């Protein structure tokens, strides 16, 4: 009986669902349907409050105890599918990496979402197929990744430490000109969304923005 139960459990999958940049209007229909039909939901506290609340479904919040979250998913897979909600798109700095290291990829299904980075580029009507995308969220990329090159476009995730004040200084030290165009994007998709067009040299004079998106191009602003 235990063997049969184990074989049955192998049929269950993890659905990693991108819930977009924040505003529910930006979640794709397939993702919304997967969340609606899920028996087990895993996600950040804000995502659970938004999509699960106290509706009786089995759920767990993603915290710093990633091992505990993975153990919960593994146990739940014995009896049913699990939906893991991640902000933005699962393929861009999400829990998908940890899930791939822990479970066979054959048991993982991914539903893409709209990332804040995608939304930032769309807001300024700038194609991003040639952009170099970096994350300063909890890390600092190698200098070569953000050093100036002719025609280079950078899209950067920020955090409370690496902000619209500190990152421009790093870029100028790495060869970018003070007059390079900088877009500071905050609260994307929400009613209080704000996008400021400035330059690397002027950024420190403006209100500091953390946990947002910075886009810089080598276009000089005169």
The pTM of the full predicted model, rounded to 2 decimals, is: 0.88
Can you give the residue ranges of every domain in the chain? 2-114, 117-220
What are the counts of helices (DSSP H) followed by strands (DSSP E) for the chain? 8, 10
Helix (H, G, I), strand (E, B) or coil at 134: strand
Max CA-CA distance within the chain?
Answer: 75
Find all residues with CB under 8 Å of 110, minimum gap 6, and list them: 15, 16, 18, 90, 91, 96
CATH T-level fold of 2-114: Cobalt-precorrin-4 Transmethylase; domain 1 (3.40.1010)
Does the domain made of 117-220 have the CATH classification 3.30.1370.60? no
The tokens describing 20, both together, are 């977009």
pLDDT value at 7 more than 90: no
Residues 49-83 have pLDDT tens digits of: 888 877 788 999 999 999 999 999 999 999 999 99
CB-hemisphere CA count at 13 Å for 62? 19
Residues 165-185 have pLDDT tens digits of: 999 999 999 999 999 999 999
State in Å, rounded, how far the first CA of the chain is from the last one: 75
């Amino acid at each position: 009986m235990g063997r049969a139960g184990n074989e049955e459990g192998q049929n269950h999958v993890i659905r990693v669902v991108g819930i977009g940049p924040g505003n529910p209007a930006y979640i794709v229909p397939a993702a919304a349907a997967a969340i609606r039909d899920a028996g087990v939901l895993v996600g950040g506290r804000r995502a659970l409050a938004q999509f699960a609340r106290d509706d009786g479904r089995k759920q767990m919040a993603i915290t710093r105890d990633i091992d505990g979250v993975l153990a919960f998913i593994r146990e739940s897979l014995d009896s049913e599918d699990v939906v893991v909600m991640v902000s933005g798109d699962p393929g861009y700095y999400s829990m998908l990496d940890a899930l791939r290291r822990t479970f066979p990829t054959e048991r993982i299904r991914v539903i893409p979402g709209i990332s804040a980075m995608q939304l930032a580029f769309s807001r300024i009507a700038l194609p991003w197929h040639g952009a170099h995308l970096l994350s300063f969220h909890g890390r600092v990329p190698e200098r070569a990744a953000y050093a100036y090159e002719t025609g280079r476009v950078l899209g950067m995730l920020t955090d409370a430490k690496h902000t619209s004040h500190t990152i421009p200084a790093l870029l100028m030290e790495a060869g970018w000109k003070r007059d390079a165009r900088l877009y500071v994007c905050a609260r994307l998709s929400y009613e209080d969304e704000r996008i400021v067009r400035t330059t690397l040299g002027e950024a420190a004079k403006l209100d500091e923005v953390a946990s947002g998106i910075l886009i810089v191009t080598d276009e000089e602003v005169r």
